Structure 1
C-alpha cells in the first residue's frame, strides 16, 4: 500500500500517454499532402473545431469541396487529451457569462443547450460510439468560503449528507448538481467518429502537414506547406493554442499546460465505497480546481489544479509531463478519496490549452472575409467547439444570423501583454489565486483584474 506521505509509487509506473489515444482502435494516419491542390473550403486543424467545421460545411452544402489539413494527427492534441466533459456552456460557466454579457446571457444559455442537444443528435445520426452519457455535473465545495458561494435555496443544491449520498468524500461540504448542462464522453472516439462522418460526406483529410503561412492569391487564399500549396476560396482556422497564422491574434491567447492522471479500473468493492452510481462529472470550486469523472470501464480521470505557463508562450513536447503536478494530483486524489488508498494510476499526461482573458471563445475574419477563426476556448471546447464551428461557417458565408448578431461573437477579449510582462502577470495571478483559495479573499491584484474583466484560467 502506498504510504500516505509518498504517492510517487501510485503513478510512477503509469504510461506517459493520453488514455483516450492509447488504444488499438485509433485510426491509421492519413497521408500527408503531396503536391498542390485547390478547394472551395480549407479547414486548418484536426481537433473538434476543425472537424465540426468540415462536417457541417458538407451538411450545409453537400456539393462543396472541403479539405481539412492537420499538422499532426486528428485528435492528437487538446481534443484527445481532455477530460471528456461536454458542457452546454458557451461562456465558461454562468457567472462569467452573466458578468460579461448580462443582456444576452439567457440567449447564450439557450443556444448552449440547443448546441448540446444537436451534438447528441449528431452522435446518434452517425452512429458514433463515444460513451456519450448526459449525466450532468456536480460542483462541490471543500472549504467553508466556497460553500458560502452556493445558494442553499437553489433546488439543485445538495448539503454535505445529500452530496455524499451521490459521491462519498469526507472533503465535501455541499454543492450543486446541474443535471442537464453536461454530458460525459470519450473525446477521442467522438473526434474519430466526426472524422469518419466527414470523410463519408466527401471531406478530404490530410495529416502530418503543418501550414506555415497564409497569403492572398487573387480572390483566393494560399495555405503554404512544405509539401505543397492548398489554394482555397475560403479558409477556416481551428489551430487554437498552436502558432498563429494571423499576426493580429498573437497576443490574444496564451498556451497553458494542464495535467491528468487516470486510475486503473476500480473493483466492485472500491466503486461501492465511493458510490457514484449516477456517474456525474465533478469539479471542485477552488480557483485551482480539480475536474474528475468515471469512465465506461470504471476508471477515475483526475485532472486540473495546476495551470502552467512557460515564458515566451513556449509549446514543447517536454512540457507535456510534469512530475511535480502528478505528485500534487495524486496527493489530492487520495485526500478526496481516502477509501481508495492503494489504487494506482495507469496513465498520466499533459496537454496545452488556449486561454484568453475572457475565458471563452472569440471569433473573427481576415483577408476580406475569406478567412474566419474561432479560438480561446480556455478548456471548455468539447461542446462549445461545435457552436464555434457554426459561427465560423456563418462568417465565411457573409450572412447575418442569430449567432453573428451576438455581442459575444462581435467582440474580442483584451490581449495579454508581450513578454516578459505576460509571464510576470501570470505568475502574480497564479500566486494570488492560490492565496485566495487558502484565505477566501481576493487581493488587490485580483480585484483590479476583476474590475477590467481580465483573468487567467485553464
Structure 2
C-alpha cells in the first residue's frame, strides 16, 4: 500500500474522479427571459428540466447553478438509489390517508427502476448495480429496532423486506458483529457524479439552457436575481423552480425553512482480491446499520469501500461549506467505523474524504409545491434519500407546471408544509444536543446491550423524527 496523501475536500471523490471540480459551462451574462427558470443544477433541477423538456419541447427552460452541476448533495452522496421514503408515514397519512402513503411507497419503488431505465436510454454509465439494500443490527438494541422496522413495514402492507439471521447476513456481506439484517430489493448502488453529469448532458441535448457559475441571490414571484462574476441580472419566467435542497438557507427569507444537515464520507484505496474474499459483497448491496448515528456504505465499481456518517452535524446559523472539506476527528471516526464493521479493510489507505449538506424540514418530511399565483415551485427536504426521490420530484413538478392532474400530483407529499426551524441559538443547541444524545445512546447500547436507550427515544421526540 502506498503512502499517497489523503485528499480532503475538493468537492468529493466522485466529482474529483471525473474532473468536475470547477464550472465548465458559461455563466449567464445578462437579463434573460424563459418559460421555466430552475435554480439549482443538482438532481432535482436536472430531473425537472429533463421531464419538462421531454413532455413539452417548445418550453424554454434554463437551469442556473452557482458552482458546477452536481456540486451539492447530488455529487457528494453515498450513491444509494433507494426507495426509502423521506419522512413519516403517519405525517403523510394525516393529509391524504393510508392509501396515499401506500401509493407514495409504491411510487418510490417504481422510481428506482425509472432512474435505471433513463440512465440506460440516455447512455449514462453510472456503475449501476441493483443489489438491494441491506440494513444490519450489531447488538441487541439494534436488533430490537430492526425487527420493529420490519413489523412496521409489514403493517403498512410493505412485504418486500426479508428478515435475515446472522448467517444470512454473512452470506451476503461479512459485517463484523452483525446479529441480524433486513434486506429489500428496491435499491441500487451507483456512482452519483456519473449520473448527475450524464443527466446534465442529456438535458442540454433536449435544448435546455444550463448555466454554471451563476449564483442566484433572490427568488421572487416569476423572476430570479443572479450574479455571475461582477455581472448581475434577472431572469423573468412564468415558473421558477427552487431546487436548492441543503443550500436553501442561503437564500433571503429561507434561513429557517430547511436545516442544512452535514454528512461526511471517506473512500478507501482499491482493495485486493484477498480482502474481498473475506468480506464477500459480491451482490453490491448498499449496507447500513441500525445505530442512531448510523453509517452507510457501498462497494464501488473499482473495488473501494465508500462509507459515510454524521460528522459535525450542523454549523451555527445554517452555514454551509464551500470546498467539501471535513474535520480530522470525523475522518478518524469513519476510519474507526470502517475498521470495526469491515476488519479485513482496517489497514486500507483512505484516498479521499469530503462532506456535504442535505435539507431537513422540521418534521423530516419531503415536499413538492407549486403556487400558481406567484409561479413559485419547490421540491426538497429529502433528509438523505434524494438520489431516487429527486426523480419522483422532477416528474411531479413536470405535471404541476403543465397543469396536469395525475397519480403523481395526488401523492401526499405534494403541497406538504411544515413549521420553520427554531431561531438561533436554539437551532444549533438542539441539533448538537440531539446528536450528542444519539452517540451516547450508541455507546450505552454497545456496552450494555438490551433495549433501545431512553436517551435516543428522548432525542427522537425532541427532533421530531
Question: What TM-score, normalized by structure 2, do the two folds share?
Answer: 0.88
String of CA shifts for 1:137-187, please: whole Å, max 9, x gaps.
1000011111123348987111112211211133211101112x1111111
Match of 1:125 in 2: 121
Matched, 1:80 2:75: yes
**1: CA distance between counterparts of 2:342 and 2:313?**
25
- Going from structure 1 to structure 2, the CA distance change for 1:329 and 1:246 (only over 3 Å counts) comes to closer
Give the drift of 1:246. Answer: 6.7
Give the drift of 1:357. Answer: 2.6
User: What residue ranges of structure 2 are gaps of 5+ in the alignment?
Assistant: 152-158, 446-450
String of CA shifts for 1:311-352, please: whole Å, max 9, x gaps.
111113377311111011101211112222321111111111
- Going from structure 1 to structure 2, the CA distance change for 1:174 and 1:446 (only over 3 Å counts) comes to closer
Alignment of 1:35-184 (within 5 A): 35-92=30-87, 96-97=88-89, 100-101=92-93, 103=98, 104-151=100-147, 156-179=162-185, 181-184=186-189
Matched, 1:428 2:433: yes
Match of 1:13 in 2: 6
The answer to whether the 8 Å contact 2:249/2:318 transfers is no
Matched, 1:374 2:374: no
Match of 2:364 in 1: 359
**1: CA distance between counterparts of 2:190 and 2:267?**
15
String of CA shifts for 1:192-228, please: whole Å, max 9, x gaps.
1111111111011000010111344xxx424343432
Match of 1:188 in 2: 193
Give the drift of 1:369. Answer: 4.2
- Going from structure 1 to structure 2, the CA distance change for 1:13 and 1:247 (only over 3 Å counts) comes to closer
Supply the RMSD in Å over aligned alpha carbons.
Answer: 2.6
Give the drift of 1:410. Answer: 2.7
String of CA shifts for 1:412-433, please: whole Å, max 9, x gaps.
2332111111112112222222
Match of 2:260 in 1: 255
The answer to whether the 8 Å contact 2:48/2:394 transfers is yes
- Going from structure 1 to structure 2, the CA distance change for 1:141 and 1:310 (only over 3 Å counts) comes to same
- Going from structure 1 to structure 2, the CA distance change for 1:248 and 1:111 (only over 3 Å counts) comes to farther
Match of 2:154 in 1: none
Match of 2:16 in 1: 22
Matched, 1:454 2:448: no
Q: Which has the larger displacement, 113-122 or 285-294?
A: 113-122
- Going from structure 1 to structure 2, the CA distance change for 1:183 and 1:68 (only over 3 Å counts) comes to same
Give the drift of 1:280. Answer: 0.4
**1: CA distance between counterparts of 2:323 and 2:250?**
24
Partner SS, residue 409 of structure 1: coil
**1: CA distance between counterparts of 2:359 and 2:58?**
33
- Going from structure 1 to structure 2, the CA distance change for 1:62 and 1:272 (only over 3 Å counts) comes to same
The answer to whether the 8 Å contact 1:251/1:418 transfers is yes
Match of 2:225 in 1: 223
The answer to whether the 8 Å contact 2:36/2:61 transfers is yes
Give the drift of 1:105. Answer: 2.2
- Going from structure 1 to structure 2, the CA distance change for 1:106 and 1:453 (only over 3 Å counts) comes to farther
**2: CA distance between counterparts of 1:105 and 1:426?**
28
- Going from structure 1 to structure 2, the CA distance change for 1:266 and 1:118 (only over 3 Å counts) comes to same
Give the drift of 1:71. Answer: 0.5
Give the drift of 1:298. Answer: 0.4
Give the drift of 1:366. Answer: 4.4
- Going from structure 1 to structure 2, the CA distance change for 1:191 and 1:177 (only over 3 Å counts) comes to same
User: What residue ranges of structure 1 are gaps of 5+ in the alignment?
Assistant: 2-8
**2: CA distance between counterparts of 1:239 and 1:448?**
28
**2: CA distance between counterparts of 1:298 and 1:311?**
37
Q: Which has the larger displacement, 242-251 or 265-274?
A: 242-251
Give the drift of 1:272. Answer: 0.6
Give the drift of 1:121. Answer: 1.5
Question: What TM-score, normalized by structure 1, do the two folds share?
Answer: 0.89
